[in-house]
Structure 1
Amino acid sequence: MKKIMLIALFFMHSAQAEDAEKASQAALKFNKWYVTQVAMDHFPITDNPEIDKYVTADTMKKLRHAQDPRFADDEFYDADFFLKSQDIGDDWVGNVSVVASEYDPVCTNIYVTFGAKEDNTVIDCMVEEKGVWKVQSVARKEISRNEVLK
C-alpha cells in the first residue's frame, strides 16, 4: 500500500512540475508581449484582441468593463493591472524573467520580474482555460533585498 501511495505522489508531483513549466512559459510569453505593447504606447486591454490569447475570458470581461467610460468612475486603478506599476522602466522590454513558481489549489503562481535589476516583480495567477494556460489575476510582490548577498 505504501508503494502505491509513493507512486501516486510521484506522478502527482510530476504533473504539477509539468503544469508549472507550461504556466511559466505562458506567463513569460505574455509579459514579454505585454510590456512591449505598453512601451509602444499601445493599450492592449482595449486596443489589441491578441490579449485574449493570454488572459482568461472572465478577467478580460471585468477589465474591459472597468475601461468602459460609462463605468470608469466606479472602478479606478492607479497602476497598470498586469505590471502593477504606473510607468515602465527603460530596460523592462529586454529584461523579463520568470524567477519562481508555486502551485496552490486555485492557480499556479508565476513570479515575473522586470528590469535588469529585477526591480519590479509581479505574481501571475495562471489557470488553464480550454487547455491553454492564461493569466487570471496579478499581484505585486515587493522584494526586500538582503544587501549582504549582493
Structure 2
Amino acid sequence: MKKWLLMLVVSFVAFQAAAAAHNDDPQGTSLTFYSWYLAALDKEESPIDEHDPLLNEYVTERLLQKINLLIKSPDGMDDDYFLQDQDYSDGWVNNVSASRFTLNGDRATGEVILGRDPADQQHLLVSLVHEREGWKIDEVEAESTPSAAPQ
C-alpha cells in the first residue's frame, strides 16, 4: 500500500513537472501538444470529443469555446481544428517539428510541421498566448506548403 501511494505521488509530481516544463516556451508547448494529440488519435482516442482535461493545459479557454461553437453549429466542423484536415496521417505520429516562434509581447507565432516526408506533411501556423500557467495554443491555421527553391 505504501509503495503504491508513493508511486502515485511520484507520478503526480512528475506529471506536474512535465506540464510546467512544456509551458515554458511556445515552441516546446506546441511540440508537446502535437506529439500528445497525435498519439491520442493514433490510439483511437478523441481528445476533443472526450473532453480530455489535458486540453486545458495546452489550449486557451477562448479557443476551446470557439471549437465547441463550431462543433455545435448547423454546418458542424469538417476538419479537425488542430490538424486543419479531416484526418491525420500515420506518418505524422512521432514526427512533429517546429520552427522558432516569433514573440510579440504575450503572443507567439510559429510553424509546426507534422510528418517528415515532404509529400505527406501538414504545415500549421500556430499562435499562442502567455497566460498565468504558461504558453497556450490560441489559434491554428493551415499554412500552404512552402514552394521548392528554384534550381
TM-score by length of 2: 0.73
Q: 8 Å contact 1:24–1:110 — kept in the other structure? A: yes
Give distance in 1, aligned partners of 2:65 and 2:146.
34
Residue 54, structure 1, aligned to residue 86, structure 2: no
1:35 to 35, 38, 42: 38
Give distance in 1, aligned partners of 2:123 and 2:113.
4
Q: Which runs of 5+ in 2 are unaligned?
A: 1-23
- CA positional deviation for 1:144: 3.2
Give distance in 2, aligned partners of 1:49 and 1:72.
23
Partner of residue 107, structure 1: 107
Percent identity of equivalent pairs: 24
Alignment of 1:9-24 (within 5 A): 22-24=25-27
Aligned-pair RMSD on alpha carbons?
A: 2.1
AA of the residue aligned to 2:96: V
Give distance in 2, aligned partners of 1:99 and 1:146.
17
Partner of residue 93, structure 1: 93
Secondary structure, in 3 states, of the residue corresponding to 1:87? Answer: coil
2:142 to 140, 143, 148: 140
Deviations 1:41-96 (A, max 9, x none): 211113112111000011112223333xxx342x5322110011111112111100
Deviations 1:4-56 (A, max 9, x none): xxxxxxxxxxxxxxxxx811111111111111112222111131121110000
- CA positional deviation for 1:140: 0.8
